[in-house]
Amino acid sequence: MKLLVWAGLLVYFCIQSSATAVSQSPTDVVCIAIAHAISSASEVFYPGDPLYNKGIYHVAISSTQHSKCVVEAGTPADVGKILVILGRTRTPFAVKGGGHITNIGFSSTLGVHISLYRFSEVKYNPVSQTVNVGSGLIWDDVYAALEPLGVNVVGARATGIGVAGFTLGGGYSYKTNQYGLAVDNVLAFQLVKPNGQVVQVSQASDPELFFGLKGGQNNFGVVTEFTLKTFPQTQVWGGVIEYPGTAVDAITAATVAFQNNVTDPKATIITAYTYIPTLETDLKLIIGLAIFYDAPVPPAGLFDAFLAVPATLKDVSTRNYLSLVQAAPTNFTQPTRVAYNLLPNLSFTSGVGALVLNETLAVGQLLTNKTLAVLSYAFEIFLPNIYSHNSYKTAFPPERAVPFQPFNILMEWTSSEFDTDYHETAVATQARLIKGQIALGQTGVANVPYYPNYAIAGTPLEKIYGANLPALMALKKRVDPSNVMGLAGGWKF
């Protein structure tokens, strides 16, 4: 068996087509009304059609739902017509970018699914050094289009992730040490408001809405295009490494030293403790590393502590950015159910390493008999000043003065019988690790914002949006007084 783990953030499993052919006939009145209202630039698809399956696709089978129809919108005006019909008929709906959120219902629905694949433009403006990017794209497409121009954007670190959900939730990138989050690099949003109106939202046109969209996900309407800052891009160096579980002490020490000593913003790593019950080793553990330097060759010595440890897999080289992001093959061996959660403000000390390692092994054993495929805890090492790259306020993070790092908890399993167990375990492991960190003296964790793109469904909104929440709720009342966007799932103001 070849099960590759990309530093905890991505595991390769097979997504079989989850949609079985059901009724082909357009019987739903709302779908029919939409089909009549939209222009010829847009189209409605029903179960059984391959484009229906493409529309509802999610990376995790557990967050795929079978909608009544999929409407592929082709123009912002058509998105507006669709939203008006959905609002008037109070029809539950979903808007999806890359389909990578793992919370069920956040970009899936049993009602009407709006697919944005037709918003697929990448238009670079060399004068302003900005790029207009359609909201139906995944980052891979954007990187591929920009590479020949020698420029790049602040986007995702793994293959297949949507521009839209990633950006509207915050967006931690390999370029974040240098330029901040994805939200810090958006100059304008083309937004279809819940009342159907199409507007260009910028700091100049509507500062409050501009603030709200930067982290507020789908609360304020449907974004059809982003205007993003670009930066020069050379070839980069890095990739993925997998170590046997026995290397945990060496990689933990190297990670602590990296965090404490490396101040070069071009360098970043992710270290993941990953439990795989089917491994043939006594310790069902592998250590995953994603390693990145934003130049063709890293400074001598910078990553030696990692490179010196014998690895079971090493794919590290000088390459283009897209190749780095796609370093691990996207092959899947089984349909997978996925839960994500996070830890606030994990400062990577050896004590925290021991705490998380114990948790990895304990929870791995606990879940083994519940069709566990992979359990992973990933430390994402960023510089403390990553929140200093924006002088405007953003919905997320609500707090920029104190440093905190994203930390990802990932669970994959195969049987829906255990969905509740996994949800509860993802919540419980987070709570135990927070307590453990506080016991180790990291008392600040109680007040650190939770990343909306990792947080598990049910997380209180205050944990994510903190002191911004009242302003976001007021903004929501202004932009969406009849709560059309409340018909779509997600973090709701």
Alpha helices in 111-162 (DSSP H): 139-146
- Contact (Cβ atoms closer than 8 angstroms) between residue 409 and residue 430: yes
- Contact (Cβ atoms closer than 8 angstroms) between residue 193 and residue 199: yes
Contact flag: residue 78 with ligand NAG (CB under 6 A) = no
State in angstroms the smallest separation of the CB of 361 from ligand NAG. 8
Of 234, 102, 226, nearest to 161 (Cα)? 102
Judged by CB under 6 A, the chain residues 243 through 282 that form the site for ligand FAD are: none
- Select the binding partner of residue 444 from ligand FAD, ligand NAG, none (C-beta < 5 to 8 A, by kind): ligand NAG
- Contact (Cβ atoms closer than 8 angstroms) between residue 167 and residue 186: yes
Of 85, 17, 8, nearest to 52 (Cα)? 17
Sheet-wide strand order for 198-201: 122-125, 130-134, 222-229, 186-192, 198-201
One residue of 207, 329, 460, 481 binding ligand NAG per CB under 6 A: 329
Site string for ligand FAD, 383-412 (x = CB under 6 A): ------------------------------
Site string for ligand FAD, 450-489 (x = CB under 6 A): ---x----------------------------------x-
**Residue 96 or residue 337: which is nearer to ligand FAD going by CB?**
96
Which residues touch 404 (CB under 8 Å, ≥6 apart)? Answer: 344, 345, 397, 448, 449
CA 475 distance to own-chain centroid:
24
* Burial class of residue 473, CB neighbours in 10 A (0-12, 13-18, 19+): middle
Count interface residues toward ligand NAG (CB under 6 A).
23
CA-to-CA distance for 70 and 49, rounded, in angstroms? 10
Contact flag: residue 156 with ligand FAD (CB under 6 A) = yes
Contact flag: residue 299 with ligand NAG (CB under 6 A) = no
Count interface residues toward ligand FAD (CB under 6 A).
33
Give strand pairing partners of 316: 239
Site string for ligand NAG, 244-263 (x = CB under 6 A): ------------xx--xx--
One residue of 110, 362, 438, 467 binding ligand NAG per CB under 6 A: 362
Q: Are strands 198-201 and 122-125 parallel, antiparallel or unpaired?
A: unpaired
Judged by CB under 6 A, the chain residues 55 through 94 that form the site for ligand FAD are: 59
- Select the binding partner of residue 337 from ligand NAG, ligand FAD, none (C-beta < 5 to 8 A, by kind): none
**Residue 355 or residue 378: which is nearer to ligand FAD going by CB?**
378
One residue of 68, 100, 175, 476 binding ligand FAD per CB under 6 A: 100
Sign of CA dihedral 87, 219, 476, 460: positive
Contact flag: residue 105 with ligand NAG (CB under 6 A) = no
CA atoms within 13 A on the CB side of 226: 28
Give strand pairing partners of 115: 72, 96
CA-to-CA distance for 275 and 277, rounded, in angstroms? 6
State in angstroms the smallest separation of the CB of 240 from ligand FAD. 13
> What is the H or E stretch that residue 189 is in?
strand 186-192
**Residue 152 or residue 309: which is nearer to ligand FAD going by CB?**
152
State in angstroms the smallest separation of the CB of 413 from ligand NAG. 14
State in angstroms the smallest separation of the CB of 296 from ligand FAD. 22
Token pair in block for residue 334 = 């089984």
3 state DSSP class of 316: strand
- Select the binding partner of residue 122 from ligand FAD, ligand NAG, none (C-beta < 5 to 8 A, by kind): none
In 3-state terms, the chain is what percent helix, strand and coil (to 5)? 35, 20, 45
**Residue 95 or residue 367: which is nearer to ligand NAG going by CB?**
367
- Contact (Cβ atoms closer than 8 angstroms) between residue 243 and residue 289: yes
Contact flag: residue 38 with ligand FAD (CB under 6 A) = no
Q: Which residues of 425-459 are buried (b: 16+ CB within 10 A; e: fewer)?
A: bbbebbeebbebbeebebeebeebbbbbbbbbbeb
**Residue 257 or residue 474: which is nearer to ligand NAG going by CB?**
257
Site string for ligand NAG, 48-67 (x = CB under 6 A): --------------------
Options 183-191, 219-227, 444-452, 465-473: segment touching ligand NAG (CB under 6 A): 444-452
Site residues, ligand FAD (CB under 6 A): 9-10, 59, 95-101, 106-107, 116, 135, 156-158, 161-162, 164-166, 168-169, 171-172, 217-218, 222-223, 453, 488, 490
Report the interface residues with ligand NAG, using CB under 6 A: 2, 256-257, 260-261, 329, 331, 345, 347, 355, 358-359, 362, 365, 369, 402-404, 432, 442, 444, 447-448
